[in-house]
Structure 1
Amino acid sequence: MTDSENPTTQSPSPAPRSVLVTGGSRGIGRAIAEAFLANGDHVAVTSRKGGAPEGALDLVCDITDPAAVEEAYAAAEAAHGPVEVLVANAGITKDTLVLRMSEEDFTSVIDTNLTASFRLAKRASKGMLRLRRGRIIFISSVVGLMGNPGQVNYAASKAGLVGMARSLARELGSRGITANVVAPGFVDTEMTAVLTEEQQKAITDRVPLGRYASPDEVASAVTWLADAGYVTGAVIPVDGGLGMGH
């Protein structure tokens, strides 16, 4: 019997981690949650209306409400222990040209995409500091790096996640906590499915790989970062080359 055939010489499987994914009921967030579940991790998912993947702890939570976020963390910790991997994915858009953009259009996107991500990371860091390990992963966008007409609010919120992650990487790194960003380009989800064939062609013509990403391709970058102990402060593009050089 070779060493590879002898079960006593095989490395033990890694212990399941406590993972929290926001906005995990559909699209990219759901694919991320399913990837962690497939890996054997304990996954809690927040969304406004519920509908987590089978096997995940389903938490209804408005991430712009500090009390609701605290309740969600308490439930996740009671079920799975301190959160070891946070994936801040939930986000909204309110697209319009800047001269038509209201104060509410701007602040609501910032509150959901950026301020709530700060709130989530701050709460996660408490448990991670005690554990002396952790992974904080923000889902940004190529728009946050390149800009896009009609998305001043969205681009600002997604660019802010990069500065936040890099500051957290410097602040928390000595305790074994990493903070990184995944920046998807155009992804094949319900949001892009409503575009006309002409609009979709105009988008893919700009992408060197000539197609949308699948949600699973974004999820694979996230799970890789969750395993990467010596990567922090990084921005990982999953955009088919659209944002090259940014």
Structure 2
Amino acid sequence: MTARTDLLLELRGVHTHIGAYHILHGVDLAVPRGEVTMLLGRNGAGKTTTLRTIMGLWRASQGSVHYAGRDITQLATPAIATLNIAYVPENMGIFADLTVKENLLLAARGASHAGQMDSTRLDWIFALFPAVKKFWNHPAGKLSGGQKQMVAVARAIVEPRDLLIVDEPSKGLAPAMINNMIDAFSALKAAGCTIILVEQNTQFAKRLGDEVAIMDNGRIVHAGRMAALAQDEALMQSLLGLSI
């Protein structure tokens, strides 16, 4: 199988076991460079396991993961993170006792204090997520769920990233915050970042996605352009049992 040159990430026949459980059953996933790929599916379909396998948090028992033409299947998670890949898990991974500033500082390479962080980059993040600036010196654990989600994404992009992977970014967000998150991801894409998003909110997916892959029972059962799927009500119903 020859890799397409326009793909940044490709999973080929990936199987993942967690203990005695066989979760992924031959996942084939192609992520085009510079686009937003939505990973959709019912609860328990294998979406989070797919993300964790990409990041090396769970090891593929069969198949391979290729990033920028390189096989990263056997790399440890810290080594994968050095490839300019950032991952925001569903639980956000916020350090509750640290301030927003301290949370971002932890992800800023080569900065030992806030004054060494890239001020231009920070201003850009503040424009994307005004709450990050507003609560800069507040304990992150005191923020609302939506504000924590913004801090988590801001921390992931405090350094420029080639690939951003986010698990359910709109979960629990008010409509106004969802619009803000969509604007932020659109700006990241315009800046050249490739994005993979796991989502349950189909309206969010419809507005933001370029590509879509739908999972069921640990497999990709549909892949194509998001706009085409959004126009096919019957297919959406059959794949997800949902109306988009």
**Which interval holds the TM-score relative to the shorter structure?**
0.3 to 0.5
TM-score (norm 2): 0.34
TM-score (norm 1): 0.33
Query: Which structure's relative contact order is higher, taking Cα pairs within 8 Å and 6+ residues apart?
Result: 2
Bigger share in strand? 2
Bigger share in helix? 1
Give the structure with higher Rg (CA).
1
